[in-house]
Every structure is written in structure tokens, then in C-alpha cells.
Amino acid sequence: MSLVEPHVLSNIVVAVLLGGAVAAFAIARRSDLWSQAGRELIGRRPIAIGAIALFVSVAMLDSVAWVGGGGAAGNVLEQSRPRSVVDRMFAPDFKEKSYSAPLADIEFYGGADLSHPGSHLLGTDILGRDVLHLTLKGARVALLIGGLTSLIVIPLALLMGISAGYFGGRIDDIVFFVVSTLASIPTLLLLIALIMVLGHGPVQVCVAMGVTGWVGFCRIVRGETFKLRELDYVQAARALGVSEIGIILRHILPNLMHLVVITFVLLFSGLVLSEAILAYLGIGIDGSWGQMIDQARDELARDPIIWWNLVAASTALFALILSVNFVGDAVRDILDPKTLGEGE
């Protein structure tokens, strides 16, 4: 038994994220630039933002879990398992024996009566689990992949890119050597190797994707820092006796923030999609949409084909990626200093 139960940790993470979001909102409201950008973003892409908000709230609700409160009667194992808010929206024994079509009254094979006839909106999978339930739970995995990996990639790339671009010389040589070396190894091979070494859990997969994913952003940060370092306002700050760390924190980093936001959004959809590829190779994360799509390989070969599992997972994935990309494009337009009307 680990020090903290996984579901308690998950609850803490949700609380921290909510706190962070509130703090970020409060800070952004103080800054004219960010609050103006935020208003414009909501005005331009209301539907995509709404969709993302829906995915995020489902993932959050699925991350808040506790033990007890009516499991399957008499089943001790089921009762001691923590269940999330999303789990609690479905009955504890909301299961069938095997496949059943959406809203069907009988099983797909054999035609036996269902225990919950007509109530599985998206049918059930091979183990008789409700597909709608699985799809909703997939949102948490998708956001975990995108979010946690970005949390690894962005700080790492910022640290390496800024030190290379700002200090130059030997540090630049070393960072660029690492970047070039990593970039020359085929990403998928490196990913597979890392997951073999680290293990299969969601956090391990995120770490592996983070280690392979920071290189591109690091290059962008290095180049941008190189440009910013020579700008007159950085030179003026140096003449004003501001320390190197002060210059990086007060002048370089704030002027890289728009890149961070843009990269986060673009990275995010790329990561969720690449998890689907990993799932296809059998090294994905349990409960992801990628895994549901992977399962459909066999299901599509059956006659008649079983389509609802694939359609549910793909639609959810598609909706998330599309919304994120829409928002990403809008964010890029809005945060580009040229279109915001600052600078020339």
C-alpha cells in the first residue's frame, strides 16, 4: 500500500488545479493584455471553448473519487473500490455479459435478455461495460496525457532553451548537442524503449512522451531568446544594473509567454493523437480512447460489425482535437503581438 491512496492523490491534484486556475484567472484579470486576449478568445470561438470546458469538467468529475456509498450489494471487492463522480452517475451494476447495440433490448450475440434493456445509449463493449461510461472516462486519460506531458515538456524546454539562447557559448553547445542527438533518434523507437524501461502506467507514458517531445519547443525558445537578448530593452535593463536572472524573469520570460500558450495548445492535440498510436502498438494507457479504437480492429472484422465502440471513442477524440485546434489557431492570432497592436 503506497503512502497516499491513488484516488486521494487524484483528489488533491484536482484541488490544486482548481486553485491554480482561479489564481491564473485572478492574475490574468489584472493584466489588460491577458484579459483583453481572453475576452477576444471567448468571442471568437465560443463553441470550441464550450466543448473543451465540457471535456475538462467531465475529466475533473472523473478525478474526484471516494470509497463507499452503495457499491454492488454484497460485493466486498466492489464496495472497497473508490468510485468517481462520473462512476456514480451510472448504477454500480450497470453491466451486461457482452456486446449489445445502442439502446438494444437483447444481447448482440445469442439474443439473451439484457439486465438493463434499452438504457445503454451507446451500447456495451466485449466485457459488457457501458460505452458511454467508458467514453466519458476516456476524457480524463486524454487530458492527463496532454496536460501532464505538457507540464514536463514546457518547463524543460524553457529551461534548456532560455539558458542556451541567453548565455550562448558552451551552454548553447551542450544543449544543442543534446537536442540534436535526441532529434536524430526515431521518436517512436525511443518512446517504446522508454516505456519498456519505465513501465506501463499513465505517468510513465507521459514522462516518456515528455522526454521525447521537448526538443522542438526548445529550439523555438532558443531562437526567440537569442532574438530577445539583443533587443534594446534588454540592453537597457543591463545598463540599469538588472541581474541576469532578473532580465530572464522580467523581460525574457514574459515575452515568451505567448509562445508557451501557443505551443501548449498545439502540443496538446499532438500528444493525445500520438497516444492513440501508442495504444495501437499495445503500449498505451488503460482506458484511453486510443485503446478503445485499438479494440475496434477486431470488432470491425466481425459480421455484422460492431461499430459503436469505435464511433464513440473516435468522435470524442475528434471533438476534443478539433476544438483544441480551433482554439489554438485563435490563440495564435490573438497573442501575436502584431495583431494585438503592440510593437510594429
Partner 1 sequence: MSAAIEGSPNACEPLLRVEGLRTWFPIRAGILQRTVGNVRAVDNIDFEVAAGETLALVGESGCGKTTVGRSLLRLVEPQAGRVLFDGVDLCTLSKRELIPYRSDIQIVFQDPMASLDPRMRVRDAIAEGMRSFGIGANAAERTERVAALLERVQLDPAWMSRYPHEFSGGQRQRLCIARALAVEPRLIVCDEATSALDVSIQAQILNLLRDLQQDLGLAYLFITHDLGVVRYLADRVAVMYVGEIVEQGPTEQIFERPSHPYTQGLLSAIPSTDPGRRGISARVIGDVPSPANPPDGCRFHPRCPQAFERCGRERPPTYFAGEGSSRCFLSDPAAG
Contacts 24+ apart (CB under 8 A), 186-194: 187/212, 188/277, 191/278, 191/283, 192/281, 192/283
Q: Which is nearer to partner 1, 113 or 342 (CB)?
A: 342
Cell of 95: 453491466
Q: Which is nearer to partner 1, 255 or 314 (CB)?
A: 255
Cis peptide upstream of residue 304 (ω within 30 degrees of 0): yes
Shortest separation between residue 232's beta carbon and partner 1, angstroms? 4
Interface with partner 1 (CB under 8 A), residue total 25
Q: Which is nearer to partner 1, 36 or 119 (CB)?
A: 36
Quick check: 171 and 225 in contact, CB under 8 A?
Answer: no
Q: How many Å apart are CA 121 and CA 39, to the nearest integer?
A: 36
Quick check: 108 and 306 in contact, CB under 8 A?
Answer: yes
Q: Which is nearer to partner 1, 69 or 341 (CB)?
A: 341
Among 20, 68, 254, 282, binds partner 1 (CB under 8 A): 254
Residues 18-37 that bind partner 1 (CB under 8 A): 32-33
x/- mask, partner 1, residues 300-339, rule CB under 8 A, reads -------------------------------------x--
Residues 224-243 that bind partner 1 (CB under 8 A): 231-233, 235-243
Shortest separation between residue 183's beta carbon and partner 1, angstroms? 21
Residues of 38-67 as b/e, b for ≥16 C-beta within 10 angstroms? eebbeebbeebbebbeebbebbbbbbbbee
Which residues bind to partner 1, rule: CB under 8 A?
32-33, 231-233, 235-243, 246, 250-251, 254-255, 257, 337, 341-344
